[in-house]
Amino acid sequence: MIYFCLNILLTGFLLWFSFHVDKMFEKRNDEFINSILLLVVSVFFQSILLLMPYYDNPKIWLFLSKVELALIALFLVQSCFYCIRFPSFKKSGFLQFVKIVFMVFAVYLVFAHVESVTVSLTEGLTVVSAKITAGLPFTWMQLYKYLYLYALPGIAVLSMLLCSENRKSPLNRQKMMFNIAAVAVLEVVGAVLEFAATFIPVFIVLYPFCFTAYMLVLYRSIRVNVLFDFKYMVQKSMQVLFSFILPALLCGAGVALLLRFRSGRPAAYAILVLLVSALMLFFAVYVKKYFKQKNSSLNVMYEKQFEKDLASLNYNEGLDEVTGRLNALFAEKIGTSALDILMLSGSAEFETAYSSSGKSLSVPASGAAFDILLNMNRTVVFKNQLEIQHSLAGVKAEMTDLFNKTHSEVCILLVEGRHIFGMILLAEKRLGNIYTEYDFSVFSKLYPYFFVVGYYMRSVANESVVGTVNREIQMSEQIIRSIQENMDFIKNPKVDAGYLMVPAHNIGGEFIDFIRLTDERHIFVLGALSGKGITASMSMVILKSIIRTFLAETKDFKELVQKVNSFIRFNLPKGTFFAGVFGLIDFRDNTMYYINCGVPALFLYTQAYNNVIEIQGEGRVLGFVKNIDRLLKIKKVKLNAGDIIVACTAGLIESHSLRGETFGKDRIQKAITENLMYTSDKMAQFTYQNLQSFTSKELEDDISILVIKYLNR
């Protein structure tokens, strides 16, 4: 029954495998999926045949045996013709005809010439058939075996070797080698199994495991989208040898040596077998861990380290150092052969600002493709996606021309609002690898870092912006201030909104942002990221950009804050947190919705009561808790004419005077009531002046003040 159970388990695995492949790949792999399904059915029939010794019904068993043998032949034909048609899988009437001939002949051979089939635990699987003719020593079953197990796979290998597409493309050549390796696995494992069956005949019923290994290697050929160099292949081969093959052989040898104890001392035998197995398992895990820690020549899963390196770019080092370092990162982590950064010039063209290969490029900025991509909120485009993604049909012609003209494979658009101010172009990978879906996912996720580099380059490109004294610090401050002040100011006549941001030490991590959703709905954000200096500032720039990116994905206010929390926790430097407030003003019904994310104070002045109250309530800073959903509370305030909203960061409240007193909330409330008649900007300015008079010294912390006066005109 053990062989029956093994075949049933294999049937279940192959059935799951077929669904997995069908879900992951496209229609061009239908032949591969059909091969798996044929194997599933054949293994199931063999499982039924293994019950033959327990039930006596020769006619039914003979019929089921013929079906099983026919299914195996059909599986081999289907899978071998998959290899023959690789890699283009173009339809061919001739190949289809030959394939049908092989299939029909297999069915004829089995049903017309197989005379009997028996299965027993001592003799294994025995198939009896007559000789083809009196003059030939071959039986029909031998012809079946030589034709479908040896000749057809050999034809598939020869076809792949002769295919010009395999010789021209390095990636296809590598995939072809995987396919040939799959056929080699089929033949070698099959030969080993047949050799073992000469000693233990029943082992022949394990042949489906040989077919499964063959299909798994073919599957690996489909999945591989990167070229491996010789060093990588040797390293992986050594890893497989020492992590799997060697421990398995040693474990098998150890169990064989211990067989002498099985009959006399079964308990000791069981304990020793478990010890040997545990020792080999420990050895395999240790070796696998060793190879994983050892640096390979191609780090395929590079996202975390790439992000860490991008976050560590030092913008105080100057333009040449930043761009050179970026190029080195792309070359090291992705294998990019060249990097070009183009910036929008005054002549409405994108022109080269940096080129690792010394190229001078110029791309018109007026193309319709850019508008289409902006409408799609698409900032990353791969050349190889233009052929397979229907959503890119409208930009296919223009983007193909751009890629061909610039000799690039990837275009990363640098977008500010609805304006493209630059692009990063990546050439082909050094080893001829294609850019994969994994690359696309990483580039899209890390887009804010590329945006920062582009914004940095745009700002320093105009040398008049930069002074000659403390050049790098002034550049950083210029960039951060310009990004901080880049917002969708509220132009609705119902509102007068103003703000003030004063860093304590040139630059910091505080920011205020207004984001227009519609003419009647605006979002505002005020907050501070932990940390000081350029690191906090870069985190602020990234967060401000990603909030707008998330708004393109979700229209749910609470979900937006949840996404921001996850981004801070998993993508910004470890230990970063955000304390602030997210607000949404709906002018249609004069309502403000807000979520307190640790803002120290949110005040509401109501004209009806001529009073200032705190409305922030309880809140949680973002970035500490993984799942913050249950901690976020959306609150609602009805706004009337003359009402005023004031929010500020901790730097205003907690600043100290020379005598050690804190500025406190009472002084802020007093400043609000004393300056009601002024505009929102002046209210923020006067509050800050009160702080300066109170402290009579340099600022201890960054100051941010947001004032929204509701006019309701």
> What CATH number does the domain containing 1 carry?
1.20.1070
Mean predicted confidence (pLDDT) in 172-198: 86
Task: Kindly tell me if the per-residue pLDDT of 532 is higher than 50.
Answer: yes
180 lies in the same domain as 244: no
Per-residue pLDDT at 699: 84
Mean predicted confidence (pLDDT) in 383-403: 86
172 lies in the same domain as 29: yes
590 lies in the same domain as 698: yes
Task: Kindly tell me if the per-residue pLDDT of 4 is higher than 70.
Answer: yes
| pTM of the model as a whole | 0.52
Most confident of 220-229, 369-378, 463-472: 369-378
Per-residue pLDDT at 464: 37
Residue ending a domain, choose from 225, 241, 256: 225
pLDDT-derived band of residue 165, with 50, 70 and 90 as boundaries?
A: low
Per-residue pLDDT at 525: 95
Residue 496 parent element (H or E): strand 495-502
183 lies in the same domain as 65: yes
Q: Could you report the per-residue pLDDT of 285-296, keeping only the tens digit for each?
A: 888 777 766 644
Mean predicted confidence (pLDDT) in 16-37: 78
Residue ending a domain, choose from 192, 225, 258: 225
Q: Please tell me which residue, 485 or 689, carries the higher pLDDT value.
A: 689
Pinpoint the alpha helices (H) of 152-244.
Answer: 152-162, 164-168, 170-197, 207-223, 230-240
438 lies in the same domain as 333: yes
Pinpoint the alpha helices (H) of 531-614.
Answer: 533-553, 557-571
Residue 294 lies in a domain: yes
Most confident of 19-33, 233-247, 452-466, 494-508: 494-508
Residue 470 lies in a domain: no
Q: Could you report the per-residue pLDDT of 438-473, keeping only the tens digit for each?
A: 888 889 888 878 887 887 787 654 443 333 333 444
How many folded domains does the chain comprise?
4
**In whole angstroms, what is the distance from residue 122 CA to residue 664 CA?**
91
Mean predicted confidence (pLDDT) in 372-392: 85
Per-residue pLDDT at 614: 93
Residue 474 lies in a domain: no
Task: Kindly tell me if the per-residue pLDDT of 298 is higher than 50.
Answer: no
Question: How many helices (H) does the chain have, and how many strands (E)?
Answer: 24, 18
Q: Please tell me which residue, 455 or 547, carries the higher pLDDT value.
A: 547
Q: Please spell the DSSP secondary structure of 429-459, one letter per residue.
A: BTT-PPP-HHHHHHHHHTHHHHHHHHHHHHH
246 lies in the same domain as 342: no
Task: Provide the percentage of residues in the chain whose pLDDT is more than 90.
Answer: 34
Residue ending a domain, choose from 197, 225, 253: 225
**In whole angstroms, what is the distance from residue 524 CA to residue 544 CA?**
11
Mean predicted confidence (pLDDT) in 175-185: 89
Per-residue pLDDT at 467: 39
Q: Please tell me which residue, 472 or 97, carries the higher pLDDT value.
A: 97
Task: Kindly tell me if the per-residue pLDDT of 527 is higher than 80.
Answer: yes
Contact 352, 359 (CB under 8 A): yes
Q: Within its chain, how far is the Cα of 610 from the centroid? A: 54
> What CATH number does the domain containing 700 carry?
3.60.40.10
| Residue 369 CB-half CA count within 13 A | 23
**Which has the closest alpha carbon to 182: 152, 226, 213?**
213
Task: Kindly tell me if the per-residue pLDDT of 297 is higher than 60.
Answer: no
**In whole angstroms, what is the distance from residue 619 CA to residue 612 CA?**
20
Mean predicted confidence (pLDDT) in 199-210: 82
Q: Could you report the per-residue pLDDT of 45-88, keeping only the tens digit for each?
A: 888 887 776 777 778 888 888 898 999 999 999 999 998 888 77
Per-residue pLDDT at 71: 93
Task: Provide the percentage of residues in the chain whose pLDDT is more than 70.
Answer: 88
Most confident of 225-229, 241-245, 450-454, 664-668: 664-668
308 lies in the same domain as 283: no
Residue 477 lies in a domain: no
| Beta-strand runs (E) in 198-324 | none
pLDDT-derived band of residue 483, with 50, 70 and 90 as boundaries?
A: low
Residue 4 lies in a domain: yes
83 lies in the same domain as 215: yes
Residue 471 lies in a domain: no
Q: Please spell the DSSP secondary structure of 343-375, one letter per residue.
A: EE-TTSEEEEEEETT----EEES--HHHHHHHH
Residue 257 lies in a domain: yes
Q: Please tell me which residue, 129 or 631, carries the higher pLDDT value.
A: 631
Is the previous residue joined to 137 through a cis bond, with omega within 30 degrees of 0?
no
Per-residue pLDDT at 513: 92
167 lies in the same domain as 316: no
Query: Which of 32-46, 369-383, 429-443, 683-697 is predicted with the least confidence, judged by mean pLDDT?
Result: 429-443
**In whole angstroms, what is the distance from residue 395 CA to residue 384 CA?**
13
Q: Please tell me which residue, 697 or 423, carries the higher pLDDT value.
A: 423
288 lies in the same domain as 221: no
> What CATH number does the domain containing 379 carry?
3.30.450.40
Per-residue pLDDT at 88: 74
Mean predicted confidence (pLDDT) in 474-494: 70
pLDDT-derived band of residue 534, with 50, 70 and 90 as boundaries?
A: low
Per-residue pLDDT at 225: 65
pLDDT-derived band of residue 382, with 50, 70 and 90 as boundaries?
A: very high
Residue 479 lies in a domain: no
**Which has the closest alpha carbon to 157: 136, 177, 185?**
177
Per-residue pLDDT at 347: 73
145 lies in the same domain as 262: no
Most confident of 49-58, 210-219, 274-283: 210-219
pLDDT-derived band of residue 155, with 50, 70 and 90 as boundaries?
A: very high
610 lies in the same domain as 635: yes
pLDDT-derived band of residue 497, with 50, 70 and 90 as boundaries?
A: very high
Per-residue pLDDT at 53: 66
Per-residue pLDDT at 257: 76
Domain that holds residue 127: 1-225
